[in-house]
A and B are shown apart, each in its own frame.
Chain A
Amino acid sequence: MALEQVQIADERWGEALEASAEAPPDEGFARRIRAIANAAEQEAAALRHADQLGLAHRPHPGARNMQLSHELRPGARSRRGPAELWDRFDVAVIDLGEALEGVALSAIARAFDVARELAGEIERLDARAGARRRAG
């Protein structure tokens, strides 16, 4: 059932955003952004399936002004990693917001895919940097 799949994906998405919402700057950053990447992948898959069944989306007005969490907001100092990658991530979040203002589930799924890819890349770089810090 397409709707149930989206509900399951929503649970992971909500948990990932909640964990990141008021998080302190710490070593859990990589884990939290990985959770967001994984949840975005689940949302993309569930929404794509719903789209293939001919379902549509009721727009979220004003979603282009959304932020995923305090630690991931544009310009936050808690963000670690290359500025260029974060710039692309910010654009991906705006694109996701714009897609959420529309009716096309396929567009939302694509936007989740891009956000997932960039969040995953940020996490991989951060985990690598963390390993280097611990080594020494």
Chain B
Amino acid sequence: MPEHPTAPEDDPWLTVPQVSEELKLHPATVRVWINTGRLAAVRAGRTWRVRRSEVDRALLSDASPAYVQQESAPSPTAAEAPNGSARRDAPRKLADHILTFEPGSGESS
């Protein structure tokens, strides 16, 4: 989770509908951002809560090229998701992960 330097009262927890309304995004898009790690969130029962500062950070992560240049952002394909998991490129060589089974001798690849 990212650090939140502001006081908690200045950085309230938002629901998915509130984030959706603030960013003018479909709630499903907000949930996809959470599920893919673009937006850090915590579970509150069956629903998610997101810090307002995290919403700002996620929005700025898709800033214009000029902004990105100013901030000298890292390579997008190697970006780290806000939830700490590395966002990785999709596998390109599926054949290398095909397992063949030889009768009577277990498996080989």
Chain A contact residues, CB within 8 Å of chain B: 2-3, 6-7, 9-10, 13-14, 17, 21, 43, 47, 50, 54-60, 62-63, 65-70, 73-77, 83-84, 86-87, 90-91, 93-94, 96-97, 100, 103, 105, 108
Specify which chain B residues have a CB less than 8 angstroms from the CB of A69 in the assembled complex. Answer: 77
Known: A14-B92, A65-B37. A3 touches B25 (CB 8 A): no
Which residues of B, 1-48, contact A by the 8 Å Cβ criterion? 25-26, 28-29, 32-33, 35-38
B32 touches A10 (CB 8 A): no
State the Cβ distance, B19 to closest chain A Cβ, in Å.
12
Interface size on B, residues (CB 8 A): 33
A93 to B33, CA, bound (A): 12
Per CB-CB distance, the 8 closest pairs between chain A and chain B, nearest first, are A14-B92, A6-B95, A90-B32, A87-B28, A58-B97, A7-B95, A66-B90, A56-B99
Task: Count A-B pairs with CB separation below 8 Å.
Answer: 114
Of B26, B85, B89, B91, most buried by chain A (CB within 10 Å of CB) is B91
Known: A56-B98, A74-B32, A74-B38. 13 other contacts (CB 8 A): A10-B92, A13-B92, A21-B77, A43-B94, A55-B98, A55-B101, A62-B85, A62-B88, A63-B90, A73-B76, A74-B33, A86-B29, A87-B29
Specify which chain B residues have a CB less than 8 angstroms from the CB of A10 in the assembled complex. Answer: 92-95
A3 to B95, CA, bound (A): 6
Known: A10-B92, A54-B101. A94 touches B28 (CB 8 A): no
State the Cβ distance, A102 to closest chain B Cβ, in Å.
11
Specify which chain A residues have a CB less than 8 angstroms from the CB of B87 in the assembled complex. Answer: 65-67
Specify which chain B residues have a CB less than 8 angstroms from the CB of A84 in the assembled complex. Answer: 26, 28
Contact of A57 among B76, B89, B97 (CB under 8 A): B97
Contact of B81 among A6, A65, A83 (CB under 8 A): A65
A9 closest partner in B (C-beta): B94
Specify which chain A residues have a CB less than 8 angstroms from the CB of B81 in the assembled complex. Answer: 65
Contact of B35 among A2, A17, A55, A94 (CB under 8 A): A94
- Of the A-B pairs whose beta carbons lie under 8 Å apart in the complex, a sample of 10, sorted by A's number, is A3-B98, A6-B94, A10-B92, A60-B91, A65-B85, A66-B88, A67-B36, A67-B90, A74-B32, A90-B32
A96 closest partner in B (C-beta): B90
Specify which chain B residues have a CB less than 8 angstroms from the CB of A67 in the assembled complex. Answer: 36, 77, 87-90
